Amino acid sequence: MIRHAEVVIIGGGVTGASIAFHLAAVGVRDVLVLERNSLASGGTGWSVGIVRQLYPTPETSQMVVRSLAAFRGFRDVVGGESGYIDCGVVIGVSAAMRPKLEETVIRQRSFGVRAEVLEPRDLARIEPRINGDHLGAVLYEPESGYGDPTAVTTGYAAAARRRGVRIEQGVEVVAIRTAGDHVTGVETASGDRVDTPVVVNAAGLWSGAVAQLAGIALPIIVGRHPVFVVERDAGFGRPHLVYLDLAGGSYARPETGGLTLTGSLTDDEAQHPMAPELLGSDVSLGDAADVLERTGRAIPRLAEARYRRGWVGAFDITPDWMPIIDESPVRGLWIAAGMSGHGFKLSPAVGEMMAALITGAAPPVDPAPFAFGRFTATSPSGTFVASYLG
Ligand SMILES: Cc1cc2nc3c(=O)[nH]c(=O)nc-3n(C[C@H](O)[C@H](O)[C@H](O)COP(=O)(O)OP(=O)(O)OC[C@H]3O[C@@H](n4cnc5c(N)ncnc54)[C@H](O)[C@@H]3O)c2cc1C
């Protein structure tokens, strides 16, 4: 069968769904989202969903501020629930990191970020269960928190459908058709052909393989990032704030049912390349022990928490740990990938920016730092922790 669409989006994760919603919102309704599995079955469905606002550049600061507003106003603007909980985020840094933190926060205020740099002793009034002994300062973001990546994806998808977007699940793209220097369509595993002048690669962990279908090499590696779930003891009290311990190398975010999700902040993902098919598989107890020890130092009460389970997650990582939001050298083939662990918290802004770029409008945030051609190396030179403070 031969069909036609104005835009084909490959991938029904939070990125593809947000782009579909934002395209429809600016009037591009003949959009077809092709998802080989089911919505949010990729990295999105395994995400921890933390929304912190500390970012070192004007563009990422603007993106996270816009995205936070979108999560908070999701019900009114998009419909459905983002599951956003503004419990507050605390970020602990070493003494050496403090000057950079102070500079960054001053810059970020002009973009509307609400955050204050505090002394470790101030934890006593904000979150006394955090251990401040090894910290040089803490950042407190009272409006930050976490959301539900699957709910955001299905919310965007439902709203896009109401505006005419077609979303097909269980449909894998196996070929990208080109003529000369531009894209002309895609082919699916069932033998269908969809003619289109615009294809968006929003295939997350699989974006490298999808780009290869058009002969494009993306400088993206898939790096392992396991997540662990612990059950807080009955005497723990109210859920803790989200805590990102940049000095000690771990994070913890509360979950319903007395649970806490925790993982590593040691920048080692790029050293652990992984086949994306392993996403969601079991973790080893050795992995868990190492991270839980660090989490127990960060929030000592969690040292007594009972380990429940874990899963293998992964990030699609570019050399500078920042996304690619740009047209590829094949005209009409756009890339929204390489989210490098930021893909949930930036997804509303990525959708807005891609919709503007594809329709030739001015994007709400300067896309220059996310250009396809910006890389001189193919392996990561930046770090995830550097994506907080530069
Ligand atoms: C464990 C973990 C923790 C995280 N924590 C955070 C966090 O705290 N905060 C934050 O902001 N971000 C976090 N992230 C990152 C964020 O969740 C991801 O960047 C984001 O969800 C990626 O969304 P995506 O739509 O780009 O990709 P995906 O969700 O991976 O979606 C890509 C989709 O493309 C589909 N696909 C692939 N190939 C094809 C094909 N050929 N044809 C059709 N469909 C195809 C896949 O099935 C998949 O559903 C985390 C990620 C993980 C895994």
Tens digits of residue pLDDT in 221-244: 999 999 999 999 999 999 999 999
Same domain? For 226 and 137 the reply is yes
Q: Whose CA is nearest to atom 33 of ligand 1?
A: 11
Which one of 21, 32, 35, 82 would you pick to mutate in the ligand 1 pocket, going by the greatest count of ligand atoms within 8 A of its CB?
Answer: 35
Number of domains in the chain: 2
| Same-domain status, 90 and 208 | no
DSSP string, 330-355: SBTEEEEE--TT-TTTTHHHHHHHHH
175, β-bridge pairs: 187
Q: Which residue CA neighbors atom 3 of ligand 1 most closely?
A: 47
Q: What is the pLDDT of residue 382?
A: 66
* pLDDT tens digits, one per residue of 17-65: 999 999 999 999 899 999 999 999 999 999 999 999 999 999 999 999 9
Does residue 206 surpass a pLDDT of 90? yes
Distance 291 CA to ligand 1 centre (A): 23
Note the pLDDT tens digit of each residue in 263-294.
Answer: 999 878 888 999 999 999 999 888 899 999 99
Specify whether 8 is located in the same domain as 37.
Answer: yes
pLDDT tens digits, residue range 312-324?
999 999 999 999 9
Q: How far is the CA of 389 from the centre of ligand 1 (A)?
A: 24
Give me the domain span that covers residue 165. 2-47+150-218+319-381
Helices (H), 197-238: 207-212
Ligand 1 centroid, distance to 11 Cα (angstroms): 9
The pLDDT of residue 359 is above 70: yes
Atom 8, ligand 1: residue with shortest CA distance: 50
pLDDT score for 6:
98
Same domain, 213 and 250: no
Q: What is the CATH number of the domain that holds 339?
A: 3.50.50.60
Ligand 1 centroid, distance to 42 Cα (angstroms): 5
Shared domain check, 213 and 323: yes
Same domain, yes or no: 308 and 234: yes
* Cα(224) to centroid(ligand 1), Å: 13
**How many Å lie between the centroid of ligand 1 and the Cα of residue 204?**
5
More confident residue, 379 or 132: 132
Residue 298, classed as helix, strand or coil, is helix
**Mean pLDDT value of segment 340-367:** 98
Mark whether 200 and 303 lie in a shared domain: no
How far out from the chain centre does Cα 327 lie?
Answer: 20
The answer on 323 and 313 residing in a single domain is no
Which residues does 121 contact at the CB level (< 8 Å), separation at least 6?
A: 132
Distance 346 CA to ligand 1 centre (A): 12
pLDDT value at 217 more than 80: yes
Give the C-alpha separation, 220 to 266, whole Å: 19
Q: Whose CA is nearest to atom 14 of ligand 1?
A: 341
pLDDT value at position 385? 76
From CA 316, how far away is CA 338, in angstroms rounded?
A: 5
Question: In this model, does residue 386 exceed pLDDT 80?
Answer: no
* Within a domain: 349: yes
Mean of pLDDT over the chain: 96
Residue 177 inside a domain? The answer is yes
Cα–Cα distance measured from residue 138 to residue 121, given in angstroms and rounded to the nearest whole number: 9
Q: CB within 6 Å of ligand 1 — which residues?
A: 10-16, 34-37, 41-44, 46-50, 149, 172-173, 202-206, 210, 225, 227, 313-314, 339, 341-345
pLDDT at 302: 96
Q: Give phi and psi for 278, each to the nearest 5.
A: -80, -5
Angle, helices 347-359/14-25, rounded to nearest 10 degrees = 50
Question: Does 209 lie in the same domain as 231?
Answer: no
CATH number of 307's domain: 3.30.9.10
Taking the CA atoms of the chain, what radius of gyration do you get in angstroms?
Answer: 21
